[in-house]
Amino acid sequence: MLKLLRMDMHRLPKGLAFKIILILLLGEFTLTAFAFSFMMSRADDMGELFQMMGITGTTMTAPMFLKLTLGQLGDFAMYMAIYVVLFSNGDFHSGFIKSVAGQVRTRSMLGVSKFITVAVYTVFYFFVSILISVIELAIFFDGPKDIGTGEFWQYALLLLFMYLAMSVSIAAVAQFFRSNLIGIISGVAISIGLISSILSLVNVLIKKLGFEVDLAEYTITGSIKSLGLEGSLGDYSQHIIVCTVYMIVAVAAALISYNKRDIA
């Protein structure tokens, strides 16, 4: 198992996609910071727009910037989803994975190794994003204000856990179907909010039947978007439970498929 994990960890940063996505991430955060800096310089003319985005002043703090970037999914989540799928399915249909599968005790270990590696990548990707955020705040604003507060780190760590659940779940879908196409489509649909839009329509239909329910509350993406900067850890217990359940079910389904199906 450790040998298999070392091989996956060694392969993780080798792909061209790994480097390209980091460059895209840097460009995305730079453009975002510049756009907000430009808008804040004209705050008097854009009051309503700022209120819609949750900005209540002319000072950009680190928690606020994190909420407006990582907390809104978008390109950050899409880049992560695409790489997770490409990495998770990179060995399928090759002689390499067939030879490795014959050397492990159970084939599910192949999936366990990939899930651990995907989790490591997500943590790395997330903290690189925070580092880029600090740099952008220093360049375009008055520095990373409030980055040392408990509010910031509670939000950041909860957000990291939810992104871990999302990346592991997307990796599980890709490995279950063993298809880059299905994995990327599902990952992009989640990150651009397509799933949320569909659930909004379902909510309308359910409401017409006389029931009040918001299905988005029971999804990972809904949990990410509704995560607030204020409140105690207990206030977000449902978010933690929802993400944990998704992660457990997704991983279990993928590992079972490893043992039930041939590596082909």
Instruction: Supply the pLDDT for residue 42.
Output: 66
Above 90 in pLDDT, residue 128? Answer: yes
Task: Calculate the alpha carbon distances from 196 to 63, 81, 199 in Å.
Answer: 24, 16, 5
CA–CA separation, 163 and 167 (whole Å): 6
Q: pLDDT at position 103, please?
A: 67
Domain locations along the chain: 2-260
Query: 46-102: per-residue pLDDT in tens?
Result: 555 555 555 555 568 888 888 888 888 888 889 999 999 988 887 765 656 666 656
Find out whether 25 and 79 touch, Cβ atoms under 8 Å. yes
Residues 6+ apart with CB under 8 A from 151: 63, 229, 230
Average pLDDT score over residue span 175-195:
84
Q: Which helix (H) or strand (E) holds 70?
A: none
Rounded CA-CA distance 7/114 in Å is: 10
Per-residue model confidence (pLDDT) at position 249? 94
Tokens representing residue 89 in the block = 């399915």
Distances from the Cα of 256 to the Cα of 3, 111, 147, 248, 249, angstroms: 22, 10, 42, 12, 11
